[in-house]
Copies of this chain bind each other. A is one copy, B any other.
């Protein structure tokens, strides 16, 4: 079998991790033929593991024009995501885009339009958390229809602790100019995607953000967002990089069930009667539906990035399904943008939002973005970057 010639744009933490998966045989339908990074010091260590034939470019566009790659993972700083994805599409190069899809929904919609014009390009988003057995099962339970409508969603996902040294490890990190935001743009895109993937898009968003509350940074490191859905259900999303030992608990209240997704466990309370039905027929002032508790079995599979990459290969070679279509990246980003805009304007944002207004407001912040000094660039192992909850629990 002919292998897919893979290029990787951006060989920081994530780009390097992806390359190692291919090298280690976990993604056998790819061969890494080229990489691109502005930081040329990163090339030597990669040649050691990929071989001396690895083509190294200090400019991603040169890599795309080299004819050496069929497919490209884009793992650069966020502002280059859409620009590079579009450049790939225009050259017929398949795209796997790291989250976030972009920094502002306006540019992502432009990228999606280019994707529409290039149906021959397989465009995927690196929403690896969609492979998690817990969230797949949650989506299956909701989509089954047996529990009626959603009444409340509540996600506290605060296990993203970062200390100052993390923020000081890259000049682009946690700046309006470099990253376009803080925890919403860097840590939360997976959960914002999962939230809308499982529970649907909200129609109203109110964001309460704290900027540089827990760190010496100019962007948000503390998020509380309140949303309303089309059926009038409400939702809350809470995140931060400031909690020493955060939580990850998603609760979904439905007409006939309560679902609680924890790190490693899926709890289900099934009601004997749906709430709307009970409400119509009950005659006891303090009566309530009876609930039966169970822990839901899942298939336990949690293949993460490897599954996303292999599904992408299957889509390229055999027309199989992606884990996440690239065009769906706009959804979580829209929620993220709405949270920011709500906080900036101090008002509730109704979706679809004014993408142009968001871009104007972001541009103001970019214009006065604080330049970073004393940056110490470090390529770090990301394995310990999630899950600060001790495993002893």
Contacts and interface: CB of A to CB of B under 8 A. Distances in A.
Contact of A243 (B213, B253, B280): B253
Interface in A284-315: 284-293
A246 B291 CA distance: 10
B244 A251 contact: no
A236 B234 contact: no
Contact of A244 (B238, B243, B289): B289
Given A165-B285, A388-B291, A392-B293, A152 B380 contact: no
Contacts of A279: 163-164, 214-215
Contacts of A287: 163, 165, 384
A389 B258 CA distance: 10
Number of copies: 2
B278 A163 contact: yes
A51 interface: no
A152 B244 contact: no
Interface stretch (A55-63, A97-105, A131-139, A153-161): A153-161
Interface in A216-253: 222, 224, 226, 232, 234, 236, 238, 240, 242-247, 249, 251, 253
Nearest to A282: B163
A56 B165 CA distance: 72
A43 interface: no
A390 B290 contact: yes
Q: Which residue, A152, A256, A292, has most C-beta atoms of chain B within 10 A?
A: A152
Interface string A31-74: 00000000000000000000000000000000000000000000
Interface in A358-393: 378, 380-382, 384-385, 388-390, 392-393
A362 B150 CA distance: 31
Interface of A: 151-152, 154, 156, 158, 161-166, 169, 206, 208, 210, 213-215, 222, 224, 226, 232, 234, 236, 238, 240, 242-247, 249, 251, 253, 255-256, 258, 260, 269, 271, 274-275, 278-280, 282-293, 346-348, 378, 380-382, 384-385, 388-390, 392-393
13 contacts: A164-B282, A165-B282, A165-B285, A206-B206, A210-B234, A243-B253, A245-B288, A247-B260, A284-B380, A286-B380, A288-B388, A291-B388, A292-B392
